[in-house]
Each structure stands twice: as C-alpha cells, then as structure tokens.
Amino acid sequence: MDLTEKLGKSFVITTELGPVKGALAADSLEKAKGYLPLDGINVHDCPMGNLRINSIAMSALVQQHLKVTAIPHFTCRDRSLLGTQADLLGAHALGIRNLLVTTGDPPKHGPYPSKAVYDYNTFELIELIKKMNRGLDYNDREFGGQTEFTVSCTAMPTARDLDHEIERMARKVKAGADFFQTQVVYDAGRTLKFLEKAKALKKPILIGLMPLKSVKMARFVSENVQGIDVPEEIIDKMENEGASGIDIICDFLTKVHPFIDGIHIMAMGDILGTNKIIEFMHSLGK
C-alpha cells in the first residue's frame, strides 16, 4: 500500500531527506538508506533561498534508488506560469505523484540577488495542479493526457488566530488539497484543540515533529522561527530534568497519537533520531 492509498486509512510516517550538498546526490541517497521503512520522504525546494538540487529531480532519484514515495516541495517563488506547467508535466513523466505546495521562502533570505516570480499564490497553484489532473492547462485547453498528482499543503496548529488558520485550510481544500503536513508542534493541548477544529475538513493531517538538540536550540526556534512555539515547561524538562529532544517527542506522541493520521518528522537528516521516533510509534501500535 503506497502513501496515497494509506492516507486517512492507516497511520502514515514521513520524513525529510535533509540537505543535499551541491552535486553530491549519491551521498544523500546512500545515507538515506539507513532510515527504517517510511511512507514518504519530502525533498525541499531551495529552503531559505539557499541553493539545493532541483526538488523534482532529487525526488525522482529517491524513488528510483530508495523505492520510497517522494514528496517534492513545489513553490510559487521561482517559476513563471509557463515554467510551472512544464515542470509539472516533467515531474509526472519522471514518476512523481505527490507534491507539497508552498509559497516558498523569499530569495532575500538567501545569498543570491534573485528575483521572486510569484505568478500565482498557493491556492491558485493547487487549482492549476488539479486542473492538469483533468488534462487541462491554465487556459482550459487539453494538453494531451493528464497528470495524477496528490497535493499536500502546510498548516500551522500554533497559529495565534486558529479560526483564521482553519479558514485558510478550508480554502486549500476547496482548491483541491488532499492532505496536510503541519508546522512543528510541541504542545499536546494546542495540537488537540487544532485537530478538533480541523476534523470538519475531513482531510488527513500529518503532525510535524522536530527533535530539539539542546536547550539553546529550543529557545532559538521558539523565539525566531515563525509558527514554532516551544512551551517553557518543555524547555524546563530539558534544562532541569535532562530530557532529550527524542524524550520530548515521545511524550508528546503518547498524548496525541490516538487522534492523528500520521507524523512528519523533520530531523534535518538525523537518521538515528528519526528511527528512534519510528520505533516508538511502532511500540504504540502505529
């Protein structure tokens, strides 16, 4: 049973490939062989405006060499409307069937004087992909054949205005989103509150997890990364009780696992840590 077949029916576990250094794709593929069985591997699309191998090409290599469903991130940032449609046809020809649609970090965060394109927004991109699934281009003209993409989108359980976040998710569903992968969360109570509101959308939701490496990292991401909120009680457990980032994740999962459709582990290429979380989920019967 592949990822698409499991969504909403069985518990799903995905992770991220981690940074690929320049042209050293083979090194990343070899390292990724160390993961325990997964349902999917995400591949970033030049995060924070930094140079990375094309996410579609790398995803095709992941599927070819690792025999795991790849989910390339596909941003609004870099492609014209024409280029987007060409890339989508190319991705489909290479066997890609899952995409994570996102706006994309502005180029100003990166080291290059690049100009963002943004010919469309996230909602319009989802609609375009779903139109191509019907064999139609942007102008509603048949292009020959049709694509078969499943579209995932992001969600933020820690949004200050949760009702507004649910409304945005509903707009993505209306546009054609098939499932969601959330931003990182650590607060079980807020997660359950989010899930209670989001269940009306009737779409699978994978909860984002990121093992914290240190108290310093916990404070940094909580203070500087939009959408990530590390409760002070968790920082206290790490600082005064010696709890590790994996311990924090496992405690969180104990509280929420009966209510979620799956998890998306963002461990920045930490295969050992990712595998520990996978093993813990299996111990919970997932």
CA distance 155 to 223: 19
Q: What does the block give as tokens for 176?
A: 């054609």
| 129 contacts 147 by C-beta, under 8 angstroms | yes
Instruction: List, for residues 46-88, the tens digit of each pLDDT value.
Output: 999 999 999 999 999 999 999 999 999 999 999 999 999 999 9
Q: Which residues of the chain have pLDDT under 70?
A: none
No. of helices (H) and no. of strands (E), the chain: 11, 8
Per DSSP, what are the bridge partners of residue 99? 151
For the entire predicted model, the pTM comes to 0.96
The CATH number that domain 3-278 falls under is: 3.20.20.220
Instruction: List, for residues 222-257, the tens digit of each pLDDT value.
Output: 998 888 999 999 999 999 999 999 999 999 999 999
| 184 phi, psi to nearest 5 deg | -60, 135
